[in-house]
Structure 1
Amino acid sequence: MKKSSFSDQIEYNDDKIVTKVILETSFSKEIRIVLKRGQSMKEHKAPFPIIVHIIEGEIDFGVEGETNSLKKGDILTLDSNIPHDLTALTDSIVRLTLSSKDTASRVHKVIDK
């Protein structure tokens, strides 16, 4: 058994999005993405399917040019290689589930673009 928390040591940063791998298993990586209002991740693709869960706040989640408003508690899945982007409408915490075959460093590269 592994145990961790999405609520511990949350750090908002005015200059950049903050990510942290919260839990890693044999089948997934659970990543916390902390965004201040107005921060965004430009359009990108994931090489494997992902799950996005809004823990706190509201975001606009763009998928292939269509914007979807997501709020606390919303969860979605996205197949691999689908262009998507997101923008925080309020200070937000997002749970991103990646395949164990994917890398957290890929997420960091998207943020650093």
Structure 2
Amino acid sequence: MSIIASLVDSLEYKEDKPTIKLLLDTEFTKEIRIAFKKDHIMKEHTAPLPIVVEIFEGSIDFGVEGEVLKLKKGDLITLGAKVPHDLKATEDSIVRLTLCKNDQLTRVEKVTED
């Protein structure tokens, strides 16, 4: 069975924090879109399992264990389990996050809460 999702359809930006939307929940991964307005942040956090982050649009200052990587449209980064990281949008941005199937969307949503 094939499922189609779009990183740009029904795109919404919140004024106060990143907008998180589950796009696909497959047999092996969860594909999530995170829409950032410029200066939105995701505070330092870890994932219990490996992740892949793609910058689909815009640019992100991606902090990894104290180092800031300047990621731009088209860049991908993978992190192992429990690696501390944070994100700050330096312009309006769309990020695709790939989680392992056993990871939870609610965990990602909690990172954006104050």
TM range (shorter): over 0.9
SS at match of 1:112: coil
TM-score (normalizing by structure 2): 0.97
Does residue 78 of structure 1 match 2:87? no
- The CA deviation at 1:107 is 0.3
Number of matched residues? 113
Instruction: Check conservation: 2:12, 2:35, Cα contact below 8 A.
Output: yes
CA RMSD of aligned residues (A): 0.6
- The CA deviation at 1:43 is 0.3
TM-score (normalizing by structure 1): 0.98
- The CA deviation at 1:95 is 0.1
- The CA deviation at 1:15 is 1.5
1:75-107 deviations in whole A, cap 9, x for unaligned? 010000000000000000000000000000000
SS at match of 1:109: helix
Identical-residue share of aligned pairs (%): 54
1:25 aligned partner: 26
SS at match of 2:112: helix
Segments of structure 1 that go 5 or more residues without pairing to the other structure are none
Segments of structure 2 that go 5 or more residues without pairing to the other structure are none
Q: Aligned letter for 1:80?
A: A
Q: Within 1, Cα distance between the matches of 2:112 and 2:81?
A: 18
2:106 aligned partner: 105
